[in-house]
Structures are given as structure tokens and as C-alpha cells.
Chain A
Amino acid sequence: MLGLVVVSLMCFTAIFADVLAPYSYTKTNFGRLNEPPSGQHWLGTDQLGRDLLSRMIYGARISMIVGLGAQAIVVLIGVPIGALSGFVGGRLDLVLTRLIDVMYAFPRLLFVILLMSMLGAGLVNIFIAIGLTGWVFIARQTRAQMLAIKEKDFVGGARALGAGGWRILGRHLLPNAMTPIIVAVTFGIPEAIFTEAALSFIGVGINPPTPSWGQMVGEGQQYLRTYWHLCVFPSIAIAVTMLAFTFLGDGVRDAFDPRQN
């Protein structure tokens, strides 16, 4: 529940960033660099004199876009592959499963960094990189569900009534396999957000001046001893978001879990 509240708040912040942020995220003030939190700048200013709170609010938007956008790609790739693999079976299943295994074998973050350095930094490229590496888990989940559900009686019934393969897949199998997919997506969002933060932290994620929490932590950590606020506030934002999504994911899983009801 707490997770849901925080996540809703996050979404709200992200959507209404333009209204909520007290300053523009690019507005510099070279006369007021690295100021600690004050009444005027609630979280202080950064090394270009920009309002830290405003940058974090816009950073929330970036994080949410990355989380949702990357997961959309993940679902778009992962679900069809998993569904086909499980539903069609046979040789196609074998080939796709091996592909999934191969993808699994790559260290995820390393692969993302590799893709990012090939594609170059940028928001869309982050979607692509996270999407291309993140679909395997969902594909596997979907395939397992397919295998389980397609043997069920109601599927046999539909088949007996003369339903075609696509109809069975679309109307009977996928809807019934949605639960674990939704849970996986809920857990995938914070992972994507965190991956973006990690990428921006090491400097291959979002390009300045677009604010990103990871980038803010990365730049701020050099000044940790002198200007603590630069690093600490974005770090807290990342941590809280991760936690909220994890709670939410747990909640969603519990809600869908038949054994608990």
C-alpha cells in the first residue's frame, strides 16, 4: 500500500513536473553555486547554481519514462517470443529457448553498457538497450505460462469448438497468463530505473543538461565532502523509488496470488 502511494506520487510528480518544479531545470545562477538547502532552494543548488529540487523533479520524469518505456519494449519483445515459443512448441520452441538461454548468459549490465557505447548516450537508446537485454525474463515467464495453460481443459474446449490457433492464443492463453507478466513488469520498472541511474552515473546514460538522478549522484559524489546535498538527495530519491516499486511489486503479486485469497 505504501508502495502504491509513493509510486502514485512519483507518477504525479513526473507528469506535473512543469507545474511542480519551482525553477527551470536549466536555469543557472552562477552567483549561487553549490548552496546548501535554504528557504529559497529547498534542496540547495548544484555546481551550476541550478535548483536541485527542480532538477530532481524533472529527474523523476526521466526515471518514470525510462521505467515505463523500457518495460514497454521488454513486453513487446518478450511476450510474443515467449508466447510463440510456448504455444507453437517443437523446433521453434527449441530455437527460441536457446536464444533466451544465450541472452541469459550475458552479464546484464555489461551488455547494456556495451549497447550504450555502440548506440551512444540518450533517452531512446536507453529504452533500446534495456529493452533488448531485459525481455528474456518475461519471455521465459510467458512461455512457462503458455505451456501450463495450453493443456487446460478450456483450451481443449475452445479447440474442439473449432477455434483457430491465433484465436486461442489471443483470447484464451494470453489473458490467462497476464498475472505473472504484470508482476514481472512491476519488478522490471525499478530495475530499468536503476539501470538508467547506473548508466548515467558512469556517464553513458542521459546527456546533460537533461537531469537524471544517476547523473546527479555521479557528479555530486565528487563533492561529497564539501557539498553533501548534491549527492545525498538524488541518492535518497533513487533508494525510495526502488523500495516503493519493490513494495508495489510484492503487493501486486500477493493480490494476484490465488493461494492467499
Chain B
Amino acid sequence: MATAPITDQQLDLLAERLGSVGVGRRDFLLVAAGLAAMSAEGFNARPVSAAPKLAPGEKLAKDQTFRYGGGGWYQYEPASQDFNKDLYCNGAVTLFAGLMKFNADFQAVPYMAEKVTSNTDGSVWTFTMRKDSRWSDGGPVTARDFEWSWKRQLDPATAAPYASFLYDIKNGEAFNKKQITDPNEVGVKARNDWTLEVTLEGPRGYFPVLAAYLAALPAHRASVEKYGDKWTEAANIVCNGPFTLEAWDHNKQMVLRKNKHFFGAKDVTLDKVIIPIIGVAAGALPYDNNEIDLTSLQVADLKRLQGDQRTARQVFRYPFPGTWYLLPQVTKPPFDNLKVRKAVAHAIDRENVIKVAQGFALPAHSMIPPGFPGALDDPKIRGLQKFDPKLAMSMLKGTPFEGGKNWPKIVLSMRDEALGAKPLAEAVQAVLLENLNMKTELEVLEPRVFRERLWKQDLQFVWIRWFMDYPDPHNEYFDTFYGKKTTGRRQAWTNADFDRELEAGRDTRDTKARLAHYARAEEIMQTDVGYVPVAWVVRYAAAKPWVRGIERNKQGEMVVEGNIYLNMLPNLYMVERT
């Protein structure tokens, strides 16, 4: 198998591309992991799911109906199921299958394609399609479907809001921006029914990863042409994924049925999937009432389910890497004073603060959560923000705030959001008051206002999180804190040495050497207190005992459907309730 190596310029290009889409990044891909996986494991097609493993005495349920949602999942009526046009349509992702897919370790593996090759520099990619998979109307899924779908997304007439994901394709951007009008100039071409050739704007080693992302899902041409925007209604839709849309009771629920034309249909055990649309306010009530089999959990329900012997074992943590931290704005008093920032870093009693999150947070001493590339367990780093109230107070010596006096008015700003963000912020307020006598007022801003003021670096003190887009330090440092970023920079703090480490990390090939650069970057940032790490995010779900087959990643954690990992349903099976 010939794949071109990925250069760091390409990774940067990807980061840039992602950045231009704004919201899309987080949900996008775990680029580096995907890429590493490709070289490590190659592109061997494997069965779509593992066979059910039954314990002695256990029987597969006769009724293979699975219901899931709630706690934040599918809380809004989907705008459509047309991922090809709008990847944030909130529909059921399992209806469509891309050329590639992400596995439970967030690595890209072949799906509708069975072989992927590229020219030597990685600027032309050839996907060889598997011939045994069909649309739910029985027609074959061919390379022409993908050619047409991707061009549809890029066509300015489609007005796809996130078309920029495909701008790596040659002339994709020009076509989407009406600089050229001939779709034949766009660099995606079906050489025949089974061979898709994609010519890119330049070397892009990460393209197969892109091909696994939501943005690269296909649409069914005949249906689109016949029904227009109504083509994803249950009566009209034709799908190529493991499931089809049997019914869509608007604002109420979606009912999916196994797609018998899907190539892996024989490995799919579930027969029917019901996705009710449940507002987050309902909590786990539908789960308690046995109306759903799998749900995401909010703070209040987690404790209750964990505390109940009957449900404690149904609860599990799932990966959702993110970091909560404080941004003291270095352009605004009192945080223009390094001693004050250091005092803040040492005044945060993380072990205690996270208790208010009731399980949804772990104490953080750096950007990257444990278990991810670049995670630091260095005592030197830990020392930089170690909780020490005496040390914190002593930092204020010689400043106008010595002894915790004379603080100006300090407003701590955060974005309005769920997931127990506010109690955490209030706990931070409490420890700052207790240990530095620093009074702060907590201001919860509407998301749009928050983002606007954040990017203007207009906020004095910020409580904020970063959800990891892809497990590479480049994402955690460069995309977040790089001082030369022109758009979407969250903090006024910059540091030339820090930036140099990030650039070096980006431009270095050797993994160990790279990580060393990022470790130094973290040390510089914490020494200069550009940010104060507080907590790492974790999330929880609960599954009824009769739900089986939830995949585990290499760390042994159960992985459930998200925007990256879409392949949960084909793996699931139900056993007889006892």
C-alpha cells in the first residue's frame, strides 16, 4: 500500500482549514491519531462489527429493538438527515456510510472504500470502492455517487454551510465561491463505477481522515433530484448506511430499520432503532422509566443512578477530552501583574474545586488530559500551579494587593452552558475568596456575546474550556494559545518563547522531540501564567443491562456515538432481559 507521508505543513493547512469553518473543528477528526493508525494498521477492510459474545445462559433477545437518546443527545428536532448538505443537521448519522470511518480509537479505517492509495506526494488519492454494498433501494453504491455528492456540497447552488471542509479538493474552493463555473474542473472524478480519483490542491496526507468525517458522507442523487429538500423525509429517503429511516415523527422520534442492502448487514444484529427527541430538561427520567436503553447523563442524574444499587453498574464514563481553565487577562488589572497571576495559580484548590462537578471533572495541572499524547506528569509542571495558599498569599508581597487587600472590581466571565460549568466557576470564586480574599463577580454571558467579547480580549477574567479536536498537542497549544493567531484568539497573553516552541513542535518530525517542545511550551505558559489549568472534563452515560456490544478503546473505556465515532449501532445487540 502506498501512502504519502504527512508533512507538518499539511497538518497546519488542515488546522487552518478547520479554523476557517469555526464551529466544525472539534467535531472534526482526530487527525493525528487517524494518521498514525493508517501507517500502523494499514487499510485492511475488516468486518463491520464483531460478532455478539454471549455469556453462558444468555440469549439474544428476540426483539432487537434499541432505543437511545436524552441527557443532551438528540435533544433537538433534526433540521434534516442530509449530512451531505449540512453536517450539523443533527440527523441520525448511521443512515449514511462514507468512504472511510473512525473506529473506537478515533482512527480512520476504510468503509465504503476497500482500498486507498495515493501518488507519492499525497496530492492525488484513489479510492477503490467495495462492490458489494448497495443503497437501500437496491442500487449499487459507486464512485459516481461520491463524485456527485461532493460536487453537490461544493456547488454554490446547494448553499451547504460547511462546504469549506472539502476545499482541499482541487478547485473546490473556486467552484464553491463561483470563481469557476464548470464542475468538471473540480478535482473529484469517478474514473469508473468503482474508482474515485481525488486530485487535491497540494499534498494532503490527511485526506483519508477527511474522507471519514461527516462532511464526506454521500447523498442519493435520484432522490435529491426528485424530491429536493424533502429527500430525507422518511417516505423519500434512500440511504447507504447500516440503517434506513423507517419513520420520522417530527419533533417526536426517528425510527431506523436495518438496511438489508448494506454490505455488512449480516454482521448487524439490531433490527430496529428508536431515537426519541428528548429535551435535556427531562434528565434521565425516560431512562428510569425504561423508555430508552442508553442515555447520556447530566450531573444531577449521575449521582442518583450511581447511588442506587440497581443502576450503579449501568453507569459508565466515556471519553470526551476537554480542559477547564482560567484566563487572567494580562492587559487588565490586576492580572497585568505576574505576581497576581501566580497567586491565582497557587490559590486554586483543585482537588476540592472539582468535587462540585460531582464526577464530571478531574483536577488538571496542564492542558492535555492523562492518556492523550503530550500529557505531562512532570513534577516540575505540577509545581507551577500546586495548591499552596500560603505561597499564593506570599506572591502578593510587594504588590498593591499584599495581604489580599485593595482588589479592584473583578468580573469572572463565562459562557452560558449546561454540564455543571457554573458550580465549578462558583467553586473557583469561593477558593479565590478564601485564599486570596479576592472577591469576584460571576457573569454568565450569552454564547454569542461571550465569543465576541472573548475574541476582542475584552474580558477581565475568563472561565473557559477547550474541547479537544484531535489528540495532538498541536491542537491543545497551537490552535488555542498561539500568539500569532489572527482570528479567534482567546487571550491577550503572548510569549515569543512559547510561540517558538509551538512552531518547533509543528515543524519537527520526531514524535519524542515534538512532545518535548510542547512540554517546554506548557512550562513557559504556566511560568508566565498565560492560563491557569483547573479541571479536565469527563462525561457519563448509562446503558441498560440488556444492551451489549458497546466498543471499548485501547484505554478500555467504553465509547459511544459522537460526531467522530459514528459506528456504535452496528456493534450493538440486545440480550434477553432477566
Show the binding face of A for B, using Cβ within 8 Å. 26, 28, 30-31, 33, 47-49, 117, 120-122, 203, 207-210, 219, 222-227
Contacts and interface: CB of A to CB of B under 8 A. Distances in A.
B430 A226 contact: no
10 contacts: A28-B431, A30-B349, A31-B352, A31-B355, A48-B423, A49-B356, A208-B422, A210-B441, A222-B300, A225-B283
Interface string B246-277: 00000000000000000000000000000000
B430 A225 contact: no
B358 A208 contact: no
Given A47-B423, A120-B443, A30 B356 contact: yes
Given A30-B353, A48-B427, A226-B304, A207 B442 contact: yes
Nearest to A28: B430
Given A48-B356, A48-B427, A203 B444 contact: yes
B332 to A, nearest CB: 16
A208 B300 contact: no
Nearest to B427: A48
B422 A33 contact: no
Interface string B411-447: 1000010000011011101110110000001111010
B355 A30 contact: yes
B442 A33 contact: no
B255 to A, nearest CB: 29
A207 B355 CA distance: 22
Given A30-B353, A225-B283, A226-B303, A121 B427 contact: no
Given A26-B430, A48-B430, A117-B446, A203 B356 contact: no
Interface string B318-352: 00000000000000000000000000000001001
A222 B299 contact: yes
Contacts of A33: 355-356, 358
A226 B411 CA distance: 31
Interface in B270-310: 283, 285, 298-301, 303-304
A28 B300 contact: no
A209 B443 contact: no
A222 B297 CA distance: 13
A219 B301 CA distance: 15
B356 A26 contact: no
A222 B298 CA distance: 9
A26 B443 CA distance: 17
B contact patch SS: helix
Contacts of A121: 443-444
Nearest to A206: B441
Contact of B426 (A117, A209, A225, A227): A209
B422 A26 contact: no
B446 A209 contact: no
Contact of A208 (B283, B349, B355, B429): B429
Given A33-B358, A225-B304, A209 B430 contact: yes
Nearest to A209: B429
B446 A207 contact: no
A120 B427 CA distance: 22
Contact of B441 (A207, A219, A222): A207
10 A-B pairs with the lowest CB-CB distances in the bound complex, closest first: A30-B352, A28-B430, A207-B441, A208-B442, A30-B355, A223-B300, A47-B423, A226-B304, A226-B300, A208-B426
B433 A209 contact: yes
Contacts of A222: 298-300
Contacts of B442: 207-209
Interface in B380-434: 411, 416, 422-423, 425-427, 429-431, 433-434
A33 to B, nearest CB: 6
A210 B349 CA distance: 21
Nearest to B431: A28
Nearest to B423: A47
Nearest to B442: A208
B305 to A, nearest CB: 10
B280 to A, nearest CB: 10
A135 B547 CA distance: 61
Nearest to B411: A207
B466 to A, nearest CB: 23
Report which residue of A47, A121, A207, A225 has the largest number of chain B beta carbons within 10 angstroms of its beta carbon: A47
Contacts of A219: 422-423
Contacts of A28: 427, 430-431, 434
Contacts of B283: 225
Nearest to A117: B446
A234 to B, nearest CB: 16
Nearest to A122: B441
A220 to B, nearest CB: 10
Contacts of B349: 30
A199 to B, nearest CB: 12
A40 B434 CA distance: 21
Interface in B146-190: none
Contacts of B352: 30-31
A120 B550 CA distance: 46
A237 B298 CA distance: 28
A224 B284 CA distance: 13
